[in-house]
Every structure is written in structure tokens, then in C-alpha cells.
Amino acid sequence: MSIQIPRGTQDILPGEVEKWQFIEKKAKDICRRYLYKEIRTPIFEHTELFQRSVGDTTDIVQKEMYTFEDRGGRSLTLRPEGTAAVVRSYAENKMYGQAVQPVKLYYFGPMFRYERPQAGRFRQFVQFGVEAIGSDDPAIDAEVISLAMELYREVGLKKLRLVINSLGDSSSRKAHRDALVAHFQPRIGEFCSDCQQRLETNPLRILDCKRDRDHELMKSAPSILDYLNEESRHYFETVKKHLSDMNIEFVVDSTLVRGLDYYNHTAFEIMSEAEGFGAITTLCGGGRYNGLVQDVGGPDQPGIGFALSIERLLSALDAEGVALPHETTVDCYIIALGDSAMEYTVPLLQELRRAGLSAEKDYMGRKMKAQFKAAERVNAKYVLIIGEEELEKGTAVIKNLQTGEQENVSLDNIVEILNRG
């Protein structure tokens, strides 16, 4: 029986992987412009990190984490999201003491969640995310949102919807929590078992329930915006003003709560409005997480960030019919005719590659016509033809496959000629 790929994972093959490379390159260039530096954290962490940061009552911790016990009896978890690990690293490596503040970081990497695979959603998926830690200036909230929007814009997406909300500070959330309990408690028996549990542990997350989203009490639930104190209200208004000043369109949705417990103040999602994209439209989500650094053992430092799925981004590009540029070319394809010529091309190929040129030769013992076909398949700019007669003369025939022009050249000048293009 053949061994197949695990459910919820995918092989990214040549021809497709170039799209990923294009997005990664674009994201890294945007981060360079915004002065965000790359950070790389382990793929697995102590389970406690996610229990304390993501939240015991979240679906991620309760249902979706890949958790295992190592040979030392320690509970470890494949990371389900990137923020907790970055914040742990920030605290552990005392990055709050760096001269340049806030600390602005970005990451790429695989994440793991055990959930039902569907279009654009996998059990192993790749996230790009940014974190800005150390500042509670509303302008950094707007900057983080603008960075995400800029990435989508620069890869060619147009049908986007930015949704924002404020979850307020601790006192605002407490007042809202009490109002939610009073609202849902008389009829909580009509809701799913998860929501019944959330009423006691985190009633705000009832608003994020997918199963009971159409219940009439959802539509009439108290809005967090009605319970913001003056400080939280001013903070949110300032974030909105900054976004407007940057000509970034947004919609305020008071039901947006996000699925993780560490969020407060600003929360946002970017959604695709492309026809045929699917029922789940969220491309990116993020928000402010003041208090998270302290929760994982560091000092009390504010932070904000977002994460987006590369798979979801690629699905949105497909839905909008956006083709990414990923055509590759080979500088030179060497066609060797005869044993001596084939032997000569081995070190010549190495010389071309060391000179920074992309080069290839035939390894299948094909005839000259078939080698030309192979050169065309790899999109070679030039073909270098070396036979026994050319080798004796110290020359080769170079042919431009785009124009059809060809000429005899000295083998001593091959690198220089190819570099001239």
C-alpha cells in the first residue's frame, strides 16, 4: 500500500512554490520599509505558553492543539499561532531593554491546528505575522493595520473589507461582561454547550460562536462600544482618525471579538469580498494585546500584531483572478555532442554557475533536437552548442533562443559574453 500525505496537509510543488516565494519576498520588502525585523521561534513550545496566552476557554486550546509528551515527561505543543511564541521570546531575551523601541518583528512559518480541512484551511498552514511590542500609541495600531493592507494591495487584491472594533481596557470589558451575562443567562439553554460554558468563563466569546450566530439574542447583544470608558473611547477614535488620514477605508463592527483571549482595545479583520471565495471570508486578523507580555513572565509591556494565512491569500488571489509573476528563465543551456564535449561541459557548467549564471545541461543522453526541446522547456535565454569539432578549435556556437541569432565564440570568453546578455 502506498503511503499518502496526512489529511489536512499539502505538498507545494515546483510551479506553485514560486507563488509562495513571490509573496514572501513582497512581505519581507514591505517589512523592510516599515522597519520590522525577522524573528524565528521554535515550531513547538511548552503547552503552558498557549494555555496562558491564547486562553483555556478557546477552541484552539480545548479542541485544536497538537499536544504531546516528550521522553522527559514534558507537555509540548506544536505552535497553533505565532504571537505567543514571539512574545515569549521577547520576554525571555529581554528585548524590552533594547535601545530601539518599540520592538518591531515579523515571522513566517508553519502553524498546526487540528480542525476540519476545507478550502484554504489546513491542519498545517503557513502564517505571516507582525508584532510591535513596547508602545501604546494608537498610531502603531494604525501602522500595523496599514502594513497588512499594503501587502494585500501590492500582490494585487482589490476586493477587500477592513473591519475594526474596540474591546476596551479591563474596566470597560468587565462592564460589558456583566451586561452580556445578564443578556444571555435567561435563555442560555437555547445555545450550544460551548456557549453555555463560555457564559461562565468568557461570555464575550459567545459572540464569536459559529453555530449560534443566527440566534436572535446575538443580534440584540449589548455592544462593547456602549461600555467603553472615556480613555478607551478616545483611544479607538484616535486609531480610526489615523486610518482615515492614511485613506484606509474601514467598517466598525461591534460584534468583532476575535478568537483569542489576549486581545484588548483594537481588534481587526481583513476580509475578501471576491465572488466565489467561500463562506469563510477572513484573510487576516489581529489586535492589541496589552498584558500578554506580563502573562508569559515579562514586564508589563503593551503590544499589537496580526497574522495572515498564506493559503488564504493564495485562495483570494485565485478568486479575483490575479496571476502572480513567477516565470523563471535559465541563462544558458549547454548542448554537448560527443563524449569529449560532454566531459568538457561538466567543469564548464560549474564555472558558469560560480560566475552567478543559471545554467543547465543534458543528463539523459538525448539527441541534439531533444536537447533543444529541453532548453525551451526550461525557458533558456541562450543555448551553447559544443561538439568535437568546436572543442578542437576552442570555440562554441551560441544561439539566442528569443531572436534565433547565433555566432561562433571563444570558449575562453563564454562567461563574459553571457554576462553581457
Give a yes or no: residue 214 inside a domain.
no
In-domain check, residue 179? no
- pLDDT-derived band at 194 (thresholds 50, 70, 90) equals confident
| Alpha-carbon distances of 151 from 58, 60, 355, rounded to whole Å | 29, 27, 34
* pLDDT band for position 260 (cuts 50, 70, 90): low
| Same domain as 388, residue 368 | yes
144 plus 284 within the same structural domain: yes
Q: Which three cell numbers stand for residue 381?
A: 535565454
The reply to whether 356 and 376 lie within a common domain is yes
Checking if the pLDDT of 72 tops 70, the result is yes
Q: In this structure, is residue 180 part of a structural domain?
A: no
Output the CA torsion 93→96→101→103 (10° steps). Answer: 40
Q: What is the pLDDT of residues 295-334, one digit of tens each?
A: 999 999 999 999 999 999 999 999 999 999 877 889 999 9
Please report which helix (H) or strand (E) contains residue 217, including its range. Answer: helix 216-219
- Same-domain check for residues 278 and 334: no
113 is in an annotated binding site: yes
For residues 273 and 150, membership in a common domain is answered with yes
Residue 405's CATH number: 3.40.50.800
Residues 256 and 387 placed together within one structural domain of the fold: no
Among candidate residues 330, 342, 309, the one with its CA nearest the CA of residue 376: 330
Pair (377, 248) in one structural domain: no
Rounded mean pLDDT of 366-375? 95
Average pLDDT over residues 214-230: 90
Q: What is the DSSP string of 113-153?
A: -----BTTB-SEEEEEEEEEES---HHHHHHHHHHHHHHHH
394 annotated binding-site participant: no
Domain membership of residue 358 as a residue range:
330-420
**What is the rounded distance in angstroms from the CA atom of residue 405 to the CA atom of residue 286?**
55
Are both 132 and 236 inside the same structural domain? yes
pLDDT score for 325: 85
What total of structural domains would you count in the chain? 2
pLDDT at 316: 94
Asked which of 320, 348, 381 is the last residue of a domain, the reply is 320
Determine whether the annotation assigns residue 127 to a binding site. yes
Do 338 and 279 fall within a single domain? no
Q: Are residues 299 and 344 in the same domain?
A: no
Write the pLDDT tens digit of every residue in 109-137: 999 999 887 766 899 999 999 999 999 99
381 & 348 share domain: yes
Average of per-residue pLDDT values in the chain: 92
pLDDT above 70 (res 48): yes
Annotation-wise, does 177 bind a ligand? no
Q: Any known ligand binding at 263?
A: yes
82 known ligand binder: yes
pLDDT in tens, 147-193: 999 999 999 999 999 999 999 998 898 898 899 889 999 899 988 98
Statement to judge: residues 364 and 296 lie in one domain: no
